[in-house]
Amino acid sequence: MSEALNTGISVVIPAAGNSTRMGGANKQLLLLDNIPVLVHTVRRFSRLPVISEIIIVTRESDIPVIQNLADVYHLLKISKIIAGGDTRQESVFLGLKQVKFSKVLIHDGARPLVSGKNIFDLIKKLDDCNAAALGVPVKDTIKKVSKDGVIKETLNRSELVQIQTPQGFNTKIILEAHRYAAENNISATDDCMLAESVGIPVYVVPGEYSNIKVTTPEDILLCEVLQRQMSKQA
């Protein structure tokens, strides 16, 4: 990536995830209302004029499949489809190195129902901070448990948020956070955690419970119901 970045919004979508609960298939390629999950996900961003480019990071063996989907469904904002690494973190880092614009959203390929409003709210927040993510209040009581299964502590639910994607960043800052993590063998469960590890404040933007991640066959059924409801409300 060059030092000088253009003003605009890039999207990096890691889409290499297998699911043992889905028979080892790439869950982003499963059908949701007869259209692959990944196509739904990409459309959520590509229809927004503010989005400048979309970079897909996937398994090397799936690159021809996804390129075909981009052609068939006219996903013109996909600028690159590249092979990922051994982990999600490595895949995102590879995607970030291809980004051409000053702000970037990182979004799970298996979250096909994120709303345009939520995306816009996140982008707007990036006008006055370097890192932000969608999140929703935790509904359930959360317990901290010991290794042998004994409850050690009940966490204060009012202070807990379930973080979703997209997560948005100043491109140079999140790229440096990933580089620092790679050089120091730091593993994180999401990109916000990497920003936190180098002292970057991450702000929470209210999300929606409908922005679910497809991880089980039941999630596909739930997505179909939610998508129909969202279509009626549109």
Domain assignment present for 156: no
Domain assignment present for 197: yes
Domain, as residue range, for 26? 6-133+163-233
Domain assignment present for 148: no
Q: Which pTM was predicted? A: 0.94
Domain assignment present for 140: no
Q: Alpha-carbon Rg of the chain, whole angstroms?
A: 18
**Whether 63 contacts 81, CB under 8 Å:** yes
Strand partners for 167? 106, 133
List Cα–Cα distances, 121 to 9, 115, 190, 205, in angstroms: 13, 10, 20, 7
**What pLDDT is stored for residue 216 in this prediction?**
86
Domain assignment present for 209: yes
List Cα–Cα distances, 32 to 81, 99, 114, 190, 215, in angstroms: 21, 29, 14, 25, 13
Total domains in the fold of the chain: 1
Express as a percent the part of the chain with pLDDT over 70.
94
CATH code of the domain containing 73: 3.90.550.10
All residues at 6 or more sequence positions from 180 whose CB lies less than 8 Å from its CB, including other chains: 186, 194, 197, 198
Token code pair at residue 153: 């502590």
| pLDDT tens digits, 12-65 | 999 986 655 566 667 899 999 999 999 999 999 999 999 999 999 999 999 999
For the chain, what is the mean pLDDT?
Answer: 94
pLDDT at 2 over 60: no
| pLDDT tens digits, 148-203 | 999 999 999 999 999 999 999 999 999 999 999 999 999 999 999 999 999 999 99
**Whether 104 contacts 171, CB under 8 Å:** yes
With cut-offs at 50, 70 and 90, classify the pLDDT of residue 217: confident
All residues at 6 or more sequence positions from 7 whose CB lies less than 8 Å from its CB, including other chains: 101, 102
